[in-house]
Chain A
């Protein structure tokens, strides 16, 4: 009996010592083995998920993704009161705007790999940084603005909020723009004192447009100046029909009008202009269809939707899109390296009434 017990103990101790020594040996080995692995060259994304399948890397000299020449940024004029800041690893442009009483706003442009997260995720992240609750896709659709550039459509959001313990001189508002191209996602962000951001909003949006436009030009600056829209866009004249009140234009619009509709509704008329060709007709028509909640149409079908309109000055293309409740009529023309969009949106019946006025308005435009 005793022998059996002791033998059992012996065996266990033996195995135990074996296991122990093996473990110790293994641990010694682990320190001296040579490892081989692969590491991706692309710089780490700072604020969005990555798509590489190999392990990401952080090379010591950050390299910008191909396709966006660095020259682009030097070709863009920036507002005078934006102080250039040293670039951090991720930023391709960085500015600091100073206002009264120590108010500051930080402006940055970051370019990342494509598929860098969708707009809603990033907007909710920015909202989180402002201490605000996240929003839904629908709310996003309502609050986001869209800006057409030669690179594509840019989504602009204006977020406000002050998280706890934040300094109101430096925080309280994020105005951000985001767009995705085939090989890159561009983020433009202005974050700072709420009032200061408000005053800079116009400049910011113009700058965003300028940078995007500049991106389409490869190589040294052919776009020496990407002029802010309103500042050096040529002035055009028109005669506004009766009943149309001119409304102060937003920073994206060249001009803006409002006309009353019955039942207290409103017709919104806008004039917008960009350098370049502003996208194809199909793009624009589908964009407007999207704004009205309609499904896009085939590019071929689009041609049937466009009707020409000749005025004394120039030739316009027009379209008439009727949705369930709202209707959009638009006219556009391209001249002198710019595109001009004239658009009226409102309730179906109201647009019907104003259509003739709209046509007269278009005919009155002189470049």
Chain B
């Protein structure tokens, strides 16, 4: 039994099966991107253990195909196990060993990136200074205690926790938050402009005059979901402060008092605060003469870090990012009228893995095929002679 398992896990057949399964998965996932959008297809096909049917919803789901993580994991195990079992050093096999070692590094690095990398955006208008970046996909319910003189206390609740009928009870808050409604993507309209029969889902704050309509998830790469939720504030010592509407499209936070302190709530893109700030001095958008074809975008920013006494100007432009304290700032885009720049902020501790892996695998392939070529030409020469 054990032998059989070991045989399978180290077999070449398994490798081929995994590679073929990977091809099928990638092909299906690529076609799926047309109607799902890149991000959703990525989640479903490549960043999961299985591809499920039906894809969404509660209730019974069956896995119909291994997902990217599973195939990758099995390939990795197969590769390592096969090598451990059949490892025999020889110069002739150097190329293969190098290639496979590099592949292991690449797969492992890819896994690490999937798990630990964080990507976010920083949008700056000319003259703006910010010390946080925002997640493009995740929103958070920020509950802020503003009663301090010089410090605000922020309790950030990720939107994955906001599900209907959930009650959030956290030590930092003197009230519980009961989620009455949650829509992943929604459209807000003033009651007066909404149709007949439209009812607000909140009874306090600006939400009392707004009608919320759920809409289908956004799939295009430049669209984002606008989540909304109706939350009821229940002070821990009894009573209710009413139901409030929080939404990504509301703009301004709403305020209420509880327990002698003033609180603000807002549903906003998840923020990642940094101990340094970035100020946009100038954004330039060059086009080719007489056309609208973009030639170059660049942002001149000032990086201020009091902890490390850094106060300098940096130019960020295409293919030339700013790398600072483990994060990298890329020129990602801009607002339509050149009024603001959008920087992509990436935190990826395992970014070096693909570089290393590429060099090793390329070397391995060259060595291996070089051997073949040499052998082949020797054969030819012998044949001709």
Contact = CB atoms under 8 A, between A and B. Distances in A.
Q: CB–CB under 8 A between A and B in the complex?
A: yes
Interface of A: 2-3, 5-10, 12-13, 16-17, 20, 23-24, 26-27, 31-42, 44-52, 54-60, 88-90, 117, 121, 125, 128-129
B273 A55 contact: yes
A31 B157 CA distance: 10
Interface in B33-84: 49, 69, 73, 76-77, 80-81, 84
A34 B155 contact: yes
Contact of A37 (B149, B168, B273): B273
A50 to B, nearest CB: 4
A182 to B, nearest CB: 17
A48 B311 contact: yes
A37 B153 CA distance: 6
Contacts of B306: 49-52
A13 B129 contact: no
Interface stretch (B130-138, B347-355, B357-365): B130-138
8 contacts: A13-B77, A24-B49, A32-B161, A36-B172, A41-B148, A56-B131, A57-B152, A58-B129
Q: Find the residue from B149, B170, B304 having the highest chain A CB count within 10 A.
A: B304
A46 B302 contact: yes
A9 B160 contact: no
Q: How many B residues are at the interface, by size bracket? A: 35 or more
Given A6-B2, A24-B69, A48-B311, A88 B127 contact: yes
A37 B140 CA distance: 14
Contact of B304 (A45, A55, A58): A45
Given A9-B84, A39-B151, A57-B152, A23 B115 contact: yes
Nearest to A55: B273
A39 B152 contact: yes
Contacts of B252: 60
Given A6-B3, A49-B311, 7 more contacts: A7-B2, A23-B115, A24-B49, A32-B158, A38-B151, A49-B306, A49-B309
B259 interface: no
B253 A60 contact: yes
Contacts of A121: 311
B330 to A, nearest CB: 21
Nearest to A5: B85
A41 B150 contact: yes
Contacts of A36: 153-156, 170, 172
Contact of A48 (B151, B158, B304): B304
Contacts of A38: 151-154
Nearest to A42: B150
Nearest to B131: A56
Contacts of A9: 6, 9-10, 81, 84-85
Contact of B129 (A2, A44, A54): A44
Nearest to B115: A27
Contacts of A33: 158
